Amino acid sequence: MTEYFRRFVEHTAIRSDRNRRVYVLTNYGSTHEQGLYRVNTLRALGYDPYVMIYERPTAPKITRHLQRWVNNKRIFHAVKDFKDYIPTRRS
């Protein structure tokens, strides 16, 4: 899929990453590492990822932290790497 996303960026007239928002479904047969990889790959390609959690109440805490880090764009742009993100709220 990465190649399709790369080609779209090359051929589209949409230049702002804010207008290239992509939903990233997590917690649906995938690990935290897979979700984080998708977020980082999309970001590197020039997309604006938006994390959605499948069955959020039963999702691991780290998945909910990933969602907050990515979806809060102030945090996402200020903290470039998830490993540097320190959640302040308990969830």
9 against 74, higher pLDDT: 74
Greater confidence (3 vs 26) lies with: 26
In this predicted structure, what is the pLDDT of residue 86?
92
d(CA 21, CA 57): 24
pTM: 0.82
Residue 4 scores a pLDDT above 60: yes
Alpha helices per DSSP H over the chain: 2-11, 32-45, 61-71, 73-78
Residue 29 — left, alpha, or beta (φ > 0 → left; ψ -120 to 50 → alpha)?
left
* pLDDT tens digits along 50-88: 999 999 999 999 999 999 999 999 999 999 999 999 987
**Rg of the chain over CA atoms, in angstroms?**
13
